Amino acid sequence: MRGRLITFEGIDGCGKSTQLHLLAQRLQGLGFPVRCFREPGGTELSERIRALLLDAAYEIVAEAELLLFAAARAQLVRVQLQPALRRGEIVLCDRFADSTTAYQGYGRGLPLELVQACNRLATDGLQPDVTVLLELPVALALQRSGRGDRMEQGALEFFERVREGYLELARQEPERILVIDAQGSPEAVHERIWRELRARFGWE
Ligand SMILES: Nc1ncnc2c1ncn2[C@@H]1O[C@H](COP(=O)(O)OP(=O)(O)O)[C@@H](O)[C@H]1O
Ligand SMILES: [Mg+2]
């Protein structure tokens, strides 16, 4: 039996980690085998790449950033995600390949066909069964993550491009990408997600 891969996407502060946690709790409560991962991360190598990406000592050029995210993902997919899915587990992932398309492609402006080729290599063709795209205005997301008041115009425009990029992906793949209104309480957003997933997978 093959498991399910569910990914969470959206701009920083939209509520991905919060919602992943709430969904994991709900599924575990129903007795499903659940594994949670975050990107970049989830293997020792991928976590070390994450630390490099977050290290303020480096100004990482867009192309290097693309390849570092891809390297972390290539390892995660083969060492963790594919085996868990083969075991029939429900795998929840905080960000996945759509983040790269949205941030490095639409946000940083790298050629989309190159970004997508990179994603295909990194994911080994693995596609999420469902992607939950948490949709929230940039200003609200920055407020939630406590960065609302010290964001430069250039950074605001970057996040706006990322948000628009995600919405474009959702238009291209409406079957896979569920656009969920991320406004309201965490519990209200969770209920929106749960209603959609329960119907899709027949979970009770
Ligand atoms: N629905 C919500 N309403 C208000 N605050 C929220 C909501 N969901 C998450 N938060 C808070 O907003 C911040 C960002 O949420 P988080 O889940 O970490 O977002 P992300 O993982 O997408 O960056 C956290 O402090 C979190 O507690
Ligand atoms: Mg998070």
How do residues 51-109 score in pLDDT, each as one tens digit? Answer: 999 999 999 999 999 999 999 999 999 999 999 999 999 999 999 999 999 999 999 99
Which pLDDT band holds residue 115 (cuts at 50, 70, 90)? Answer: very high
Ligand 1, closest atom to CA 94? 21
Ligand 1 atom 19, closest CA: 15
186 lines ligand 1 (CB under 6 A): yes
| pLDDT for 50 beyond 90 | yes
- Cα–Cα distance, 56 to 92 (Å, whole number): 28
CATH of the domain at 96: 3.40.50.300
Q: Which domain holds residue 51?
A: 4-201
The answer to whether the CB of 88 falls within 8 A of the CB of 33 is yes
**Any residues with CB less than 8 A from the CB of 19 and at least 6 apart, and which?**
8, 132, 134, 186, 189, 190, 193
Ligand 1 atom 1, closest CA: 186
144 lines ligand 1 (CB under 6 A): yes
Q: What is the total count of domains within the chain?
A: 1
